[in-house]
Amino acid sequence: MASGKLLRLLVQSGASGDPTAFRSATEQLIKEERQKQHNLLANDLERILYGDRSTPNSTAHNILPEAPFDKESGVALIDIKQANRSIDELVLEQNTLEVIENVLEEYRREDILRSYGMMPAEKVLFFGPPGCGKTLSAEAIAYELNRPLAIVRLDSLVSSFLGETAANLRKIFDFIAKHRLVVLFDEFDALGKERDDGSEHGELRRVVNAVLQMMDSYDGKSIIIAATNHEQILDSAIWRRFDELVEFPLLNKDQLQNLLQLKLRGVRREFDLDSPELHSIFDDKSPAIIERIIRRAVKRMILKQKEFLTVKMLKHAFELENRVR
């Protein structure tokens, strides 16, 4: 049973129409119930207070919090936005997709796990070649769980001032612990690089140590997703800090065809999706590159007032891609 003091605070804040005080009192009540091991009740109260996280794209309670800033530059350390891409838009290797779906299920049925004294995965590492869906998957997780997506800005996080990078990291971890976000540390290898690398100076070694300490002590409301294209240079101690490791390999033939079907849906074309000539254009290409080539070709088709998309148009778009790269 809640204390009389908390009940008075709840009634007073509700009667006076003070949403900030009401939320604060309710959060105290939830904390008190958790301390009493009343986890199912605490989860129900959280769901009432924050909304049903299992209902995607319901934005009633998703008021974006103000991000922390770098002291020297005044630039925000995190970009926070509403997620707009769902899991239906992911074309991934089956094992990769299964791990992501498992993480989502853990949060959708979090009350059951908590009733057994267990927690859903709080820290997840995405690794694999660039353009294979890591950022999109983080956004899809945020969308499916009805949470804002917070992308850590490494350009403002890494400071030229001695000791400020670790201080910025502390600001970020303190901030995300207080809010229900999906937090993406993109290019995480910049923070978690192997400490034995002789080319790195002492400041970056201190940053890695700070990351390890903050990951160890983290017990907040946000889901942390770290993404890297260079997993081979991560410090060996970093890997143990994550609850789930998710690999994003290049697409196989079937997955490529699924991606083409998704991206060419509604486009009139002169070729079949299983055409060997078509597949030869996209072999060993990441989904991001494939999507960019298709988008470029479709734009030219529209602007040239052509009725159908052709393999020749896609080949031309592919050649332009190679010139740019």
Residue 57 pLDDT: 47
Residues 21 and 156 grouped into a single domain: no
Structural domain ending residue among the three candidates 201, 226, 247 = 247
Q: Which of 194, 212, 247 is the last residue of a domain?
A: 247
pLDDT at 199 over 60: no
Can you tell me the mean pLDDT for 144-161? 83
pLDDT higher than 80, residue 325: no
* Interacting residues of 296 by C-beta distance below 8 A, sequence separation 6+: 317, 320, 321
Q: How many domains does the chain have?
A: 3
Q: Is 319 helix (H, G, I), strand (E, B) or coil?
A: helix
Looking at residue 188, which CATH number applies to its domain?
A: 3.40.50.300
Confidence of residue 55 (pLDDT cuts 50, 70, 90): very low
Q: Is residue 148 one of the residues assigned to a domain?
A: yes
Q: CB neighbours of 70 closer than 8 A, spacing ≥ 6?
A: 76, 77, 156, 157, 159, 164, 168
Task: Tell me what the mean pLDDT of segment 189-215 comes to.
Answer: 71
Confidence of residue 161 (pLDDT cuts 50, 70, 90): low
Give the integer Cα–Cα distance in Å for 9 and 13.
6
pLDDT of residue 151: 95
Most confident of 15-19, 36-40, 159-163, 246-250: 246-250
User: How high does pLDDT run on average in the chain?
Assistant: 85
At 259, the pLDDT band (50, 70, 90 cuts) reads very high
Q: Highest-confidence range of 231-235, 242-246, 253-257, by mean pLDDT?
A: 242-246
Q: Give the ranges where the chain is alpha helix by DSSP (H).
A: 4-16, 19-35, 39-50, 94-108, 110-115, 134-144, 154-157, 164-178, 202-217, 236-239, 253-263, 276-282, 287-303, 311-324
Asked if residue 315 belongs to a domain, the reply is yes
pLDDT of residue 203: 62
What's residue 4's pLDDT? Answer: 74
CATH number of the CATH domain containing 292: 1.10.8.60
Q: 316 is in which domain, residue-wise?
A: 253-324
pLDDT band (50, 70, 90) for residue 60: very low
User: 58 falls in which pLDDT band (50, 70, 90)?
Assistant: very low
Residue 12 falls within a domain, yes or no?
A: yes
Q: Tell me if 55 is assigned to some domain.
A: no
How far apart, in whole angstroms, are the C-alpha atoms of residue 236 and residue 244?
15
Q: Which of 224, 247, 270 is the last residue of a domain?
A: 247
pLDDT digits (tens, 9 = 90+) for 68-90: 888 877 888 999 999 999 998 89
